[in-house]
Structure 1
Amino acid sequence: MEVRARIGWNVRRLRVERELSQDDLAYNAGIERAYVGHLERGTKNPTLDTLEKLSKALGTDIADLFIKPPEGAELLRPLKPGRKIS
Protein backbone atom coordinates (compact mmCIF):
# COMPACT_ATOMS: atom_id res chain seq x y z
CA MET A 1 0.00 0.00 0.00
CA GLU A 2 1.49 3.33 -1.00
CA VAL A 3 1.79 6.10 1.55
CA ARG A 4 -1.10 8.21 0.20
CA ALA A 5 -3.44 5.21 0.40
CA ARG A 6 -2.19 4.42 3.92
CA ILE A 7 -2.82 7.99 5.07
CA GLY A 8 -6.26 7.97 3.45
CA TRP A 9 -7.15 4.67 5.12
CA ASN A 10 -6.10 6.01 8.52
CA VAL A 11 -7.87 9.37 8.12
CA ARG A 12 -11.07 7.54 7.25
CA ARG A 13 -10.61 4.96 10.05
CA LEU A 14 -10.07 7.65 12.68
CA ARG A 15 -12.88 9.83 11.34
CA VAL A 16 -15.39 6.97 11.37
CA GLU A 17 -14.26 5.83 14.85
CA ARG A 18 -15.04 9.34 16.08
CA GLU A 19 -18.34 9.41 14.19
CA LEU A 20 -17.36 12.54 12.29
CA SER A 21 -18.63 13.43 8.84
CA GLN A 22 -16.19 14.65 6.23
CA ASP A 23 -17.81 18.08 6.64
CA ASP A 24 -17.18 18.10 10.39
CA LEU A 25 -13.58 16.94 10.03
CA ALA A 26 -12.89 19.49 7.31
CA TYR A 27 -14.40 22.31 9.37
CA ASN A 28 -12.48 21.33 12.51
CA ALA A 29 -9.23 21.05 10.54
CA GLY A 30 -9.78 24.25 8.54
CA ILE A 31 -9.60 22.54 5.14
CA GLU A 32 -12.06 21.94 2.28
CA ARG A 33 -14.52 19.05 2.60
CA ALA A 34 -13.77 17.85 -0.92
CA TYR A 35 -10.09 17.72 -0.02
CA VAL A 36 -10.86 15.32 2.86
CA GLY A 37 -12.55 13.04 0.33
CA HIS A 38 -9.53 13.21 -1.97
CA LEU A 39 -7.22 12.36 0.92
CA GLU A 40 -9.34 9.41 2.00
CA ARG A 41 -9.29 8.06 -1.56
CA GLY A 42 -5.53 8.61 -1.79
CA THR A 43 -5.79 10.88 -4.82
CA LYS A 44 -4.11 13.92 -3.25
CA ASN A 45 -0.71 14.31 -1.63
CA PRO A 46 -1.15 16.21 1.67
CA THR A 47 1.44 18.56 3.10
CA LEU A 48 2.82 18.09 6.60
CA ASP A 49 0.83 21.16 7.67
CA THR A 50 -2.38 19.51 6.45
CA LEU A 51 -1.53 16.26 8.24
CA GLU A 52 -0.91 18.23 11.43
CA LYS A 53 -4.30 19.97 11.11
CA LEU A 54 -6.04 16.65 10.54
CA SER A 55 -4.33 14.94 13.46
CA LYS A 56 -5.30 17.79 15.78
CA ALA A 57 -8.89 17.76 14.53
CA LEU A 58 -8.99 13.98 15.08
CA GLY A 59 -7.41 14.30 18.54
CA THR A 60 -4.55 11.97 17.70
CA ASP A 61 -0.82 12.02 17.08
CA ILE A 62 0.31 12.63 13.52
CA ALA A 63 2.11 9.25 13.61
CA ASP A 64 -1.30 7.53 13.78
CA LEU A 65 -1.93 8.65 10.20
CA PHE A 66 0.93 6.40 9.06
CA ILE A 67 -0.10 3.17 10.83
CA LYS A 68 0.05 0.14 8.56
CA PRO A 69 -3.43 -1.39 8.10
CA PRO A 70 -3.80 -4.98 9.30
CA GLU A 71 -3.27 -7.70 6.69
CA GLY A 72 -6.41 -8.02 4.56
CA ALA A 73 -7.98 -4.84 5.96
CA GLU A 74 -10.84 -3.50 3.92
CA LEU A 75 -12.18 -0.02 3.58
CA LEU A 76 -14.53 0.99 6.35
CA ARG A 77 -18.25 1.17 5.75
CA PRO A 78 -19.71 4.65 5.27
CA LEU A 79 -21.43 6.37 8.17
CA LYS A 80 -25.20 6.67 8.07
CA PRO A 81 -26.32 9.32 5.56
CA GLY A 82 -27.26 12.79 6.73
CA ARG A 83 -25.59 15.35 8.87
CA LYS A 84 -24.73 14.56 12.44
CA ILE A 85 -26.34 17.04 14.79
CA SER A 86 -24.08 17.93 17.70
Structure 2
Amino acid sequence: MDLTKRVGMNIRAIRKSQNLTIDDLAEKCDFQSPYLSDVERGERNITLQTLNKILDALQVEPGRILIPENKSSEGEDKIRKELLQLLFNTLEDKDENDIRMLLNISNEIFGRLKNN
Protein backbone atom coordinates (compact mmCIF):
# COMPACT_ATOMS: atom_id res chain seq x y z
CA MET A 1 0.00 0.00 0.00
CA ASP A 2 1.39 3.41 -0.86
CA LEU A 3 2.24 5.98 1.80
CA THR A 4 -0.61 8.34 0.88
CA LYS A 5 -3.23 5.64 1.45
CA ARG A 6 -1.52 4.37 4.62
CA VAL A 7 -1.37 7.88 6.13
CA GLY A 8 -5.00 8.47 5.21
CA MET A 9 -6.06 5.16 6.76
CA ASN A 10 -4.13 5.95 9.93
CA ILE A 11 -5.68 9.42 10.17
CA ARG A 12 -9.15 7.88 9.84
CA ALA A 13 -8.40 5.19 12.44
CA ILE A 14 -7.13 7.76 14.95
CA ARG A 15 -10.08 10.08 14.27
CA LYS A 16 -12.54 7.25 14.83
CA SER A 17 -10.72 6.09 17.97
CA GLN A 18 -11.26 9.61 19.33
CA ASN A 19 -14.97 9.42 18.42
CA LEU A 20 -14.65 12.36 16.05
CA THR A 21 -16.74 12.69 12.92
CA ILE A 22 -15.14 13.82 9.70
CA ASP A 23 -16.96 17.13 10.20
CA ASP A 24 -15.52 17.49 13.73
CA LEU A 25 -11.98 16.98 12.50
CA ALA A 26 -12.48 19.20 9.46
CA GLU A 27 -13.67 22.00 11.72
CA LYS A 28 -10.66 21.59 14.03
CA CYS A 29 -8.31 21.75 11.03
CA ASP A 30 -10.22 24.51 9.24
CA PHE A 31 -10.69 22.25 6.19
CA GLN A 32 -13.74 21.28 4.20
CA SER A 33 -15.11 17.81 5.04
CA PRO A 34 -14.89 16.53 1.41
CA TYR A 35 -11.22 17.52 1.29
CA LEU A 36 -10.48 15.69 4.53
CA SER A 37 -12.45 12.69 3.29
CA ASP A 38 -10.21 12.59 0.20
CA VAL A 39 -7.16 12.72 2.49
CA GLU A 40 -8.44 9.78 4.55
CA ARG A 41 -9.06 7.74 1.41
CA GLY A 42 -5.53 8.51 0.20
CA GLU A 43 -6.81 10.44 -2.80
CA ARG A 44 -4.99 13.65 -1.86
CA ASN A 45 -1.23 14.06 -1.68
CA ILE A 46 -1.06 16.47 1.24
CA THR A 47 1.69 18.86 2.23
CA LEU A 48 3.59 18.64 5.49
CA GLN A 49 1.79 21.81 6.58
CA THR A 50 -1.58 20.10 6.05
CA LEU A 51 -0.38 17.00 7.87
CA ASN A 52 0.80 19.18 10.75
CA LYS A 53 -2.67 20.78 11.06
CA ILE A 54 -4.24 17.33 11.19
CA LEU A 55 -1.71 16.13 13.78
CA ASP A 56 -2.39 19.18 15.93
CA ALA A 57 -6.15 18.70 15.68
CA LEU A 58 -5.83 15.02 16.64
CA GLN A 59 -3.21 15.85 19.28
CA VAL A 60 -0.88 13.07 18.15
CA GLU A 61 2.78 12.81 17.28
CA PRO A 62 3.82 12.26 13.63
CA GLY A 63 4.88 8.69 14.39
CA ARG A 64 1.27 7.72 15.12
CA ILE A 65 0.33 8.63 11.55
CA LEU A 66 3.39 7.26 9.81
CA ILE A 67 4.12 4.18 11.93
CA PRO A 68 1.10 3.14 13.97
CA GLU A 69 1.62 1.36 17.27
CA ASN A 70 1.25 -2.38 17.41
CA LYS A 71 -2.43 -3.05 17.38
CA SER A 72 -4.45 -5.34 19.58
CA SER A 73 -6.96 -7.65 17.94
CA GLU A 74 -9.45 -4.76 18.15
CA GLY A 75 -6.98 -2.54 16.28
CA GLU A 76 -6.36 -5.24 13.72
CA ASP A 77 -10.11 -5.48 13.19
CA LYS A 78 -10.24 -1.72 12.54
CA ILE A 79 -7.42 -2.00 10.01
CA ARG A 80 -9.20 -4.92 8.36
CA LYS A 81 -12.40 -2.87 8.09
CA GLU A 82 -10.47 0.06 6.65
CA LEU A 83 -8.82 -2.20 4.07
CA LEU A 84 -12.18 -3.67 3.13
CA GLN A 85 -13.56 -0.16 2.72
CA LEU A 86 -10.63 0.77 0.46
CA LEU A 87 -11.31 -2.34 -1.60
CA PHE A 88 -15.00 -1.46 -1.79
CA ASN A 89 -14.15 2.10 -2.87
CA THR A 90 -11.91 0.72 -5.60
CA LEU A 91 -14.69 -1.53 -6.92
CA GLU A 92 -17.54 0.94 -6.51
CA ASP A 93 -17.34 2.32 -10.06
CA LYS A 94 -16.67 -1.03 -11.75
CA ASP A 95 -19.36 -2.87 -13.68
CA GLU A 96 -20.77 -6.24 -12.66
CA ASN A 97 -18.59 -8.22 -15.11
CA ASP A 98 -15.38 -6.67 -13.77
CA ILE A 99 -16.41 -7.41 -10.19
CA ARG A 100 -17.30 -11.02 -11.03
CA MET A 101 -13.97 -11.42 -12.82
CA LEU A 102 -12.08 -10.11 -9.78
CA LEU A 103 -14.07 -12.40 -7.50
CA ASN A 104 -13.23 -15.42 -9.66
CA ILE A 105 -9.54 -14.49 -9.79
CA SER A 106 -9.33 -13.94 -6.03
CA ASN A 107 -11.11 -17.26 -5.35
CA GLU A 108 -8.62 -19.00 -7.63
CA ILE A 109 -5.62 -17.36 -5.93
CA PHE A 110 -6.86 -18.09 -2.39
CA GLY A 111 -7.76 -21.65 -3.40
CA ARG A 112 -4.23 -22.26 -4.65
CA LEU A 113 -2.67 -20.67 -1.56
CA LYS A 114 -4.81 -22.85 0.67
CA ASN A 115 -3.63 -26.00 -1.14
CA ASN A 116 0.06 -25.11 -0.73
Q: What TM-score, normalized by structure 2, do the two folds share? A: 0.59
Distance 1:63 1:46 in 2: 16
Query: Radius of gyration: which is bigger?
Result: 2
Moved beyond 3 Å, runs of 4+: 68-73
**Corresponding residue for residue 89 of structure 2:** none
Higher relative contact order (CA 8 A, sep 6+): 1
Q: Which runs of 5+ in 2 are unaligned?
A: 84-116
**Corresponding residue for residue 9 of structure 2:** 9
Higher normalized helix content (fraction of residues): 2
Q: CA deviation at 1:63?
A: 2.2
**Corresponding residue for residue 82 of structure 1:** none
Asked if the contact 1:15/1:21 (under 8 Å) is kept, the reply is yes
Q: What is the Cα-based RMSD across aligned positions, in Å?
A: 2.4
Q: Which runs of 5+ in 1 are unaligned?
A: 77-86
Percent identity reads 34
Q: What TM-score, normalized by structure 1, do the two folds share? A: 0.78
Asked if the contact 1:6/1:67 (under 8 Å) is kept, the reply is no
